[in-house]
Amino acid sequence: MNNISSSKRNDILKTAHDLFWKHGIKRVSIEEICKDAGVSKMTFYKFFPNKIELVKTILDNLIEESITKLNQILASKIPFSEKLKQLFLMKIEGMDNFSMEFMNDIYTNPETGLKEYMEEKQMNSMGIIIDFYKDSQKKGFIRKEVKIDFILAYSAQIFKLMEDKNLIAQYNQPQDFVLESMNLLFYGIVTGNE
């Protein structure tokens, strides 16, 4: 791919990313992406057969970046609690500026097939997290009686709960929901003020 072609493809990706994050997938048209990116529809179709494949490319890029960051955090020499904090912040940053429409288009709109796509991608990267939890438990950072499968199942439930529109409507941003979910996992509901 030559530089001009690569530049146009990147313009489409960046423009679509910004529009999807702000308005969701369904409300953004290919025409709007092309207009804002300064490319023709023919150029768009040269790189992407349709809008869903464009979304998948954007998600793939984000997942690849996330796995790189994940590996950097896990390889760092910081204490376990700091690693958890960094992983937690990474998850929130990964959702930064997502609109509720974008989340709904992925997780509650069966027409897009993106929920299954995201679940498959998450399964591919789950091995890294499982190894981290198991190693942390062996080192005594996670209580021995806590089942790793419980931690994983709880984490998976966070995404299932995102399908509950009434619950999600109680939060200003998706990050607020994830923050509360992760706090519940790590700290429980008891304040210690008995």
Tens digits of residue pLDDT in 17-49: 999 988 989 999 999 999 999 999 999 999 999
Q: With contact defined as beta carbons under 8 Å apart, do 148 and 140 qualify?
A: no
Here the contacts of 182-190 (C-beta below 8 Å, separation 24 or greater) are 182/88, 182/91, 182/158, 185/151, 185/154, 185/155, 186/84, 186/88
In this prediction, what percent of the chain has a pLDDT beyond 70?
A: 90
The alpha-carbon radius of gyration of the chain (Å, integer) is 19
Q: What is the mean pLDDT of the chain?
A: 84
Residues in the chain: 194
* Winning range, highest mean pLDDT, from 57-61, 80-84, 92-96, 119-123: 57-61
Domains of the chain by residue range: 1-48, 51-187
pLDDT(193) > 50: no
Q: What pLDDT was estimated at residue 189? A: 58
> If pLDDT is split at 50, 70 and 90, which confidence band does 86 have?
confident
pLDDT tens, position by position, 98-131:
777 888 888 887 778 888 888 888 777 788 889 9
Tokens matching residue 169: 């409507």
Class (C level, CATH) for 51-187: mainly alpha
Q: What pLDDT was estimated at residue 20? A: 92
Q: What pLDDT was estimated at residue 71? A: 92
How many Å apart are CA 162 and CA 152, to the nearest integer? Answer: 16
Tokens matching residue 42: 């023919």
DSSP 29: -
- Of the chain, the end-to-end C-alpha distance in Å amounts to 65
1-48 maps to which CATH number? 1.10.10.60
Which residues make Cβ contacts (< 8 Å) with residue 41, sequence separation at least 6?
30, 31, 34
